[in-house]
Amino acid sequence: MKIREYIESKRARFIVTRIVKSIPVFFLASIIIFLIMHLSPGDPAEIMLGAGATEEAIESIQQRLGLDQPLYRQYLNYMSGVFQGDWGVSIRYNQPVLELIRTRMPLTLLLMGSGLIISVIMGITMGVLGALNPNSIFDYSSTVMALFWRSIPSFWLGILFLYVFALEFGWFPIGGWQGPISLVLPMMVIGLRLQAIIARLTRSQMLDVLTKDYIKSAKTKGLKRKAVIIKHGLRNALIPVVTVIALRVPWLFGGAVITETVFAYPGMGSMLVRGVLSRDFPLVQGIVLVICISAIIANLIADVSYTYIDPRIDIDSQRKG
């Protein structure tokens, strides 16, 4: 079985290079976050404690956070802290940042995960159906709808859903977390928007693949229309779709931040907004770093899954989207 080992070794090599490549990306990201936090014009300690803070309070904050040391030293302390689980203490909540994240993150991941699943299922079905009967009424209307879902700001959509489904109809709780029921509306807000993007991409990829020669060969072999489209067409069409979905994972966090704020959903996203508004630098820094790590991991998983879908591993895939 020479071929199998050869492919496995090629895939292993591809994965290792991808991991090695994402390490500098992680450090570069952490440096950028760190710099941004220290970008602010005023003295961070003053800004964090607000105008009325006494001299001593400011002094102690600067001592505690080591703000008086040169930037690169602060960064190194911070990073060594990160690896030992000490991500600093939130000013506003007066709890370790890592603790806050650990309690809030699962809710955000749950929201993002459900939003992703819905959008993938709806998106791909709508996309394939649109491609199968192009220029039909269905195709035309789903294209316009897809553009509509991409154009509506998610915060307004959230407010509309809140107003109609929670206030008027009362089907769903206004905010906070009363079990999975309060997941539905925010999930729909994220899902609808992403499914529009996936649907349009799947449709254009399917249309492109259906013009390829190997589809003509499949037809010539007398295969049923369904076999030609699903077995030969869909698999090739989905390769770039997987790439785009992976690229959209970081975007999901963005969506979560806004949707959680609108629905007062107790996830990491709404906490980030409160952190930014109250200039709670350690908390903001921690959350953004976590988001960045999960995005890098998501990209990694996408590239690895890519090698299973598309046997042409060594052709470096042109990332789309």
Which of 32, 56, 14, 11 has the alpha carbon at shortest distance from 288? 32
Query: Minimum distance between the CB of residue 169 and another protein, rounded to whole angstroms?
Result: 14
13 forms part of the interface with another protein (CB under 8 A): no
Mark the segment that binds another protein (CB under 8 A) among 36-44, 51-59, 73-81, 99-107.
36-44
Tokens standing for 239? 């390769």
Q: Which of 64, 73, 102, 224 binds another protein (CB under 8 A)?
A: 224
Closest CA to 162 of 153, 175, 149: 175
Using the rule CB under 8 A, is 279 a contact of another protein? yes
Considering beta carbons, is residue 56 or 227 the nearer one to another protein? 227
Instruction: Indicate the residue among 24 and 70 with the shorter CB distance to another protein.
Output: 24
DSSP letters for 130-185: HHHSTTSHHHHHHHHHHHHHHHS-HHHHHHHHIIIIIIIS--S-SSS-SSGGGGHH
C-alpha to C-alpha distance for 281 and 48, rounded to whole angstroms: 8
Which of residues 204, 266, 304, 317 is near another protein by CB under 8 A? 204
What does the block give as tokens for 182?
Answer: 């309060």
Q: Which stretch binds another protein (CB under 8 A): 66-74, 75-83, 124-132, 311-319?
A: 311-319
- 296 lines the binding site for another protein (CB under 8 A): yes
Among 65, 107, 111, 218, interactor with another protein by CB under 8 A: 218
- Sequence-ordered list of residues with C-beta below 8 angstroms from that of 287, at least 6 positions apart, any chain: 97, 101, 268, 271, 272, 275
Number of residues that bind another protein (CB under 8 A): 82
Give the interface segment with another protein, choosing from 50-58, 83-91, 175-183, 208-216 (CB under 8 A).
Answer: 208-216
Choose one: 54-62, 97-105, 177-185, 255-263; the region binding another protein (CB under 8 A).
255-263
> In this chain, which of 3, 20, 51, 137 binds another protein, going by CB under 8 A?
3
Cβ atoms 177, 265 nearer than 8 A: yes
